Amino acid sequence: MAKRKRLTPTLGTGLARPAPAPEAKSATALIRGLGSVRPPIADVAHDAASTNALAEVAQTLTDARTEGRLIQRLPMHLIDADHLVRDRISADAEEMAVLRDSIRQRGQQTAIEVVALEDGRFGLVSGWRRLGALRDLLLETKEPAFETVLAIVRTPADAAESYVAMVEENEIRVGLSFYERARIVARAVDRGVFRSDRVALTQLFAAVSRSKRSKINQFVTIVRQLDPGLKFPTDLTERTGLALVQALDADETLAQRLLVALTAEPDRTAAREAQIIARTLTQPGHAAPAITGERPRKPSVPETLCDGLVLRVEKDGAFRLTGPALDNHSFVSRLLTALRDLNDFRTDPELGISDPLDDPS
């Protein structure tokens, strides 16, 4: 029987063993492509892209917050509703009830506008009615949902811009009475936000017609003279208010007589207040003395000429200067020098300028 031929060497012949089969790679190592392992540079690129994306998102949020485009949820107790003198004196009870019911059922739909203050609080710019409704609901229900308010943090350039924003919102949403419009003009000037009533009118009510601004300006007279005594000033109609202004201009004693009559009935109603005003207007008073010449026939509203110096033109044409600046001897000396120089300006023939006080136009 023929022997079979040995195909593999026997142990001990000195021949090398055959090489083992290549080891199969782990399935977890085959991540991408055709079984290739992701190189380290891919991990570096991935981490850099993630970091850049997060930085871009953070910058976008920062820009939105800075530019007043980000709605935030702020604690209710941090909102200072009296940061600005409000133009709206009171809110209609029925309208406020409707607003509270809407917020109770659907939540706050429109954010208020605030400005960041130095002490970590926020001053209210617009949204006075919404903030009031939320506070009423918190007091009524004690629910945590009403402990915060949706707000946009604005960064106005100055106080004047804040007042303009407040007035514009109320002009667009719910029109104010002429008295309320005039009152915010007077209060903003008194606080030094604007240097005069004319400037305040022009900036606060830039979008309204000239005739409407003129009527607001006339109501400023009522605010200046009667605001402490009026209990229902927003009930003054346009016609009644303008007639009252004419009467105040014609009779210098009328304002004081009205204040006395109003103070005598502190518990009066709106209808009774209107009766008191009408009755006082019909009572005889002391007519203002006749004014001749070209000087003003009615006192002007106080106008701030510079820091600490206020000018008022009286009914007799006298110019009255008041303010703390007059306590500064150096300032008074410079002021007198400037006034004396005006005489040279008026009479210098080389300038070809006539005396403005003699101008009949």
- Distance between CA atoms of 298 and 189, rounded to whole angstroms? 20
- At residue 222, the 3 state secondary structure works out as helix
Looking at residue 351, its amino acid is L
- Distance between CA atoms of 204 and 103, rounded to whole angstroms? 30
| Residues 162-220 pLDDT 10s | 777 767 666 555 667 889 888 888 888 888 888 888 888 888 888 788 888 899 999 99
The third-level CATH classification (topology) of the domain covering 60-158 is 3.90.1530
Query: Is 243 exposed, middle or buried, given 0-12, 13-18 or 19+ CB atoms closer than 10 A?
Result: middle
DSSP 234: G
Strand boundaries in 54-143, DSSP class E: 71-75, 79-80, 112-116, 122-126
- Distance between CA atoms of 213 and 54, rounded to whole angstroms? 51
Contacts of 136 (CB under 8 A, 6+ apart): 96, 100
DSSP 81: T
pLDDT at 299: 58
Q: CB–CB of 296/267 below 8 Å?
A: no
Q: Where are the domains of the chain?
A: 60-158, 303-347
| Region of 41 on the Ramachandran plot (φ > 0 left; ψ -120 to 50 alpha; else beta) | alpha
Q: For each successive 10 residues of the chain (361 residues), what is the average pLDDT?
A: 58 53 50 56 69 68 62 90 70 81 88 86 86 91 91 76 70 71 87 85 84 90 91 89 90 90 91 91 60 49 76 74 81 77 50 41 37
The H-or-E segment that residue 50 falls in is helix 40-66
pLDDT at 295: 44
Bridge partners, 311 (sequence order):
303, 321
Looking at residue 261, its amino acid is A
The model's pTM is 0.49
Strand pairing class (79-80; 122-126):
parallel
Q: CB–CB of 228/259 below 8 Å?
A: yes
Q: CB–CB of 272/299 below 8 Å?
A: no
Q: How many CB atoms lie within 10 A of CB 182?
A: 27
Residues in the chain: 361
Per-residue burial over 309-320, b if 16 or more Cβ lie within 10 Å, else e, is bbbebebeeeee
Bridge partners, 319 (sequence order):
313
pLDDT at 148: 92
Query: What sign has the CA pseudo-torsion 306, 312, 317, 318?
Result: negative
Closest CA to 216 of 165, 175, 254, 256: 175
Bridge partners, 126 (sequence order):
113
